[in-house]
């Protein structure tokens, strides 16, 4: 039977992802041959203990739980917007950990990022150098040159995070496309077809496929030294990945892009939610921590603040041997306004 919600936000790992209902007919993908999913017990600890901690302590709101499940059921990307420090990038690690989706694939966007960067990287210069070395060895051995073979291309090509996420895995991979609003204006539009069709081509392998008997190349996947088969240069997903795109709201996106995403806007947490976040990271808030929470909330109404600034202040208040006046002064220095200076500097 289908399960709702699949993602519960409780941080308890389970195999509920196997109980997703079939996808809508317009989001049904049939890539193959099916690849085994990475170790389902692996999580962000394979990359960073910090990300593991964030995944374990993430405090999802009811709205977050609902829209994550909507994205999973509909096989659509989740566009997460909101001010800095609201947990946009931590969300994907929390979902991957609870649903046992394996290590998160991460694509950090800059103004120079292109679709090609996310799909794969190919180094023709290293291939040319390798070909020259091979030719030199053949000449020294007294051999004769044969027909050009495309079999060496895969040794100079690696799939990117998006390209790896779209491999035909039997269960979804988790992909973070971080700070999509920093991209060139063309990138969101360039992503449309790939995310809509769940597939892409690698032209270098398409051309080489005619020179090999079965047209299969073994290429490196992102974040691993293991090789995966790509048939005739074409990749099509089987289980659509759980894709999270984050944005700080620095730009607007094209309507065609927005209608293909489930959109979640994260807001600054209220006092109850802040207390839950502090409790998850640092234990039960004491009297001074609650005072800092109240001050943080009053200051956030004047200018932008990030939740991790509050966590830093509470941690030092518990760890540093300082008097009350010094703690207040230190807390003010640890919670400066982000971006433009606020009208009031009163702490």
Which residue shows structure tokens 């694939």?
Answer: 105
pLDDT digits (tens, 9 = 90+) for 253-298: 999 999 999 999 998 888 899 999 999 999 999 999 999 999 998 8
The pLDDT score that the predictor gives to residue 130 is: 58
Residue 337 has pLDDT above 80, yes or no: yes
pLDDT digits (tens, 9 = 90+) for 155-170: 889 999 999 999 999 9
The pLDDT score that the predictor gives to residue 133 is: 60
* Pairing state between β 199-201 and 216-220: unpaired
CA distance to 80, 217, 223, per residue, from 220 (Å)? 30, 10, 9
State the Cα angle at 54 between 52 and 55, rounded to 5°. Answer: 65
Which residue shows structure tokens 């017990």?
Answer: 41
The pLDDT score that the predictor gives to residue 346 is: 42
pLDDT digits (tens, 9 = 90+) for 193-208: 999 999 999 998 998 8
Give the pLDDT band of residue 299 (cuts 50, 70, 90).
confident
Give the pLDDT band of residue 303 (cuts 50, 70, 90).
confident
The pLDDT score that the predictor gives to residue 146 is: 43
Q: What percent of the chain has pLDDT over 70?
A: 86
Task: State the chain's mean pLDDT as an integer.
Answer: 87
How much is the average pLDDT of 230-244? Answer: 96
Q: pTM score, two decimals? A: 0.86
Give the pLDDT band of residue 44 (cuts 50, 70, 90).
very low
The pLDDT score that the predictor gives to residue 47 is: 52
Give the pLDDT band of residue 127 (cuts 50, 70, 90).
low
The pLDDT score that the predictor gives to residue 45 is: 43
Is omega for the bond preceding 5 within 30 degrees of 0, making it cis? Answer: yes
Tokens describing residue 135:
């030719």
Q: How far apart are CA 9 and CA 192, in angstroms?
A: 29
Q: How far apart are CA 68 and CA 91, in angstroms?
A: 9
| The length of the chain, given as a count of residues | 347
Q: How far apart are CA 11 and CA 43, in angstroms?
A: 12
How much is the average pLDDT of 21-38? Answer: 93
How much is the average pLDDT of 146-156? Answer: 60
pLDDT digits (tens, 9 = 90+) for 58-103: 999 999 999 999 999 999 999 999 988 889 999 999 999 999 999 9
Q: How far apart are CA 77 and CA 107, in angstroms?
A: 14
Of 35, 44, 40, the closest CA to residue 100 belongs to 40
Q: Order the strands of the 262-265 sheet from edge to edge.
A: 105-108, 174-178, 242-247, 78-81, 262-265
Q: What percent of the chain has pLDDT over 90?
A: 61
How much is the average pLDDT of 102-116? Answer: 95
> Domains (ranges, CATH) in the chain?
16-121+152-265 (3.40.50.300), 271-334 (no CATH)
Yes or no: say if 263 and 315 are a contact pair by the CB < 8 Å rule. no
Residue 129 has pLDDT above 70, yes or no: no
Give the pLDDT band of residue 347 (cuts 50, 70, 90).
very low
């Amino acid at each position: 039977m289908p399960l709702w919600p699949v993602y519960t936000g409780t941080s308890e790992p389970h195999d509920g992802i196997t109980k997703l209902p079939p996808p809508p007919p317009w989001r049904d993908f049939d890539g193959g041959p099916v690849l085994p999913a990475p170790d389902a017990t692996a999580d962000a600890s394979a990359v960073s203990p910090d990300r593991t901690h964030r995944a374990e302590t993430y405090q999802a709101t009811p709205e977050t739980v609902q829209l994550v499940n909507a994205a999973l059921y509909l096989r659509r990307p989740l566009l997460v917007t909101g001010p800095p420090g609201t947990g946009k990038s931590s969300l994907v690690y929390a979902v991957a950990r609870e649903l046992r989706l394996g290590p998160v694939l991460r694509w950090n966007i800059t103004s120079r990022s292109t679709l090609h960067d996310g799909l794969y990287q190919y180094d023709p210069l290293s291939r040319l150098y390798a070909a020259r070395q091979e030719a030199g060895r053949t000449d020294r051995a007294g051999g004769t040159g044969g027909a050009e073979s495309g079999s060496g291309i895969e040794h100079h090509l690696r799939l990117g995070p998006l390209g790896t996420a779209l491999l035909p895995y039997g269960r979804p991979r988790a992909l973070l496309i971080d700070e999509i609003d920093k991209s060139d204006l063309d990138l969101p539009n360039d992503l449309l077809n790939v995310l809509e069709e769940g597939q892409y081509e690698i032209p270098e392998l398409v051309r080489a496929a005619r020179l090999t008997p079965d047209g299969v190349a073994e290429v490196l996947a992102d974040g691993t030294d293991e090789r995966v088969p790509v048939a005739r240069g074409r990749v099509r997903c089987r289980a659509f990945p759980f894709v999270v795109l984050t944005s700080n709201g620095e730009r607007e996106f094209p309507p065609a892009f927005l209608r293909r995403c489930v959109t979640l806007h994260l807001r600054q947490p209220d006092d109850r939610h802040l207390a839950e976040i502090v409790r998850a990271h640092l234990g039960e808030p004491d009297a001074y921590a609650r005072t800092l929470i109240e001050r943080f909330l009053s200051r956030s109404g004047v200018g932008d603040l990030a939740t991790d600034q509050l966590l830093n202040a509470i941690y030092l208040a518990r760890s540093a041997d300082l008097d009350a006046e010094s703690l207040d002064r230190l807390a003010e220095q640890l919670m400066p306004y982000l971006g433009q200076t606020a009208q009031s500097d009163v702490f």
